[in-house]
Amino acid sequence: MQSLRCLATGVFTLTLASALLFFSVFSMADTKIEPTIVSKTYLVGVEDLEYYPLYTSHEKYPDKGLLITLIKEFARQNSLDFEFIALPIGRFSAWFESDNIDFRLPDNPHWHSDDAGLIFSKSILSLRTATVVLDSRKDWKLNQFTRIGTLHGFVPSPHWQARINNGALEIKSDSSMMMLVRMLYSDTVEGLDLDISVVKHYADKLGQDTEKLALAKKVKSPRLGYSMSTKHYPEVLTALNQFVDGRRDLIEELQKKYQLDGSY
């Protein structure tokens, strides 16, 4: 009897140990381990241009616009140290290699053809890529436009590509928003492939009548998402995605403040 009791106890002990091991392994497999964010000063490359109130590198705008204000708040809430570096947009595709940056802001997968290894955050901000015109052209159709202006280095909206390819549309680019606005008001271009809130900001600074500005109602205005990209720090983008999901109230508040609601 004693030996049978010992045998039964041994089997029970083994079975209990097996069960504990099973539940321990199952519990570990079911637990998502978040990667640790490296503590360092992260370099964020930003396009060296004036595109306020969306973003700018110019010193006369201390807040640097909506996008940079939002990313600074993300860094503050996550105890991250970000340093923003203004870089020429003409070297956009080489920033990570030549300038040793950690992140690029803003970015979008559609702006790249061969930039392998890039990781993107979800869209931080989504705005419409509308065609800004003078009020007299608001009913123009796409095939009526022959000259469109945009910032140097910007990729024209996809709906213009066919007319560019067949030579029916000329893209006039400049590095100055002031110059592009002057070109619009002087009829040098028939429209600007830029955000209307940005165009209005610089038109107002030039003393132009912003009431004359309108959107070409019969030209597509798809949404464009502004993201942040990296090659080596996906864990920071994971935290950024969580911030974007959790702080929609702040994003909406900033969009109203900077008059970039994207609802048009």
What is the per-residue pLDDT across 182-204, written as a single tens digit (0 to 9) for each? 999 999 999 999 999 999 999 99
Residue 121 has pLDDT above 70, yes or no: yes
Token digits for 258?
């900077």
Segment 58-66 shows an average pLDDT of: 89
Segment 241-247 shows an average pLDDT of: 96
d(CA 199, CA 177): 8
Report the share of the chain in percent with pLDDT over 90.
67
Band (97; pLDDT cuts 50, 70, 90): confident
d(CA 208, CA 63): 24
| pLDDT of amino acid 263 | 54
* Burial of residue 89 (number of CB atoms within 10 Å: 0-12, 13-18, 19+): middle
| pLDDT of amino acid 199 | 96
Band (218; pLDDT cuts 50, 70, 90): very high
Distances in Å between the alpha carbon of 14 and those of 18, 182, 231?
6, 84, 49
Residue 19 has pLDDT above 50, yes or no: no
Token digits for 52?
């306020």
d(CA 75, CA 57): 18
Segment 214-227 shows an average pLDDT of: 92
Band (159; pLDDT cuts 50, 70, 90): very high
| pLDDT of amino acid 261 | 64
What contacts 120, CB < 8 A, 6 or more positions away? 107, 108, 109, 227, 228, 229, 237
Handedness of CA 181, 184, 186, 189 (dihedral sign): positive
Handedness of CA 161, 164, 168, 173 (dihedral sign): positive
Distances in Å between the alpha carbon of 189 and those of 22, 171, 193, 212, 220?
71, 9, 10, 15, 18
Band (262; pLDDT cuts 50, 70, 90): low
Segment 37-48 shows an average pLDDT of: 91
Look at residues 13, 72, 130 and name the one whose alpha carbon lies nearest to residue 247.
72
Segment 39-49 shows an average pLDDT of: 93
Paired sense of beta strands 147-151 and 191-192, if any: parallel
Residue 148 has pLDDT above 80, yes or no: yes
Look at residues 19, 38, 28 and name the one whose alpha carbon lies nearest to residue 235.
38
Band (221; pLDDT cuts 50, 70, 90): confident
More confident residue, 35 or 81: 81
Report the share of the chain in percent with pLDDT over 70.
84
Least confident range from 25-29, 164-168, 169-173: namely 25-29
185: amino acid identity, one letter: Y
pTM reported for the whole predicted model = 0.81
More confident residue, 61 or 243: 243
Residue 101 has pLDDT above 90, yes or no: yes
Token digits for 137?
């052209």
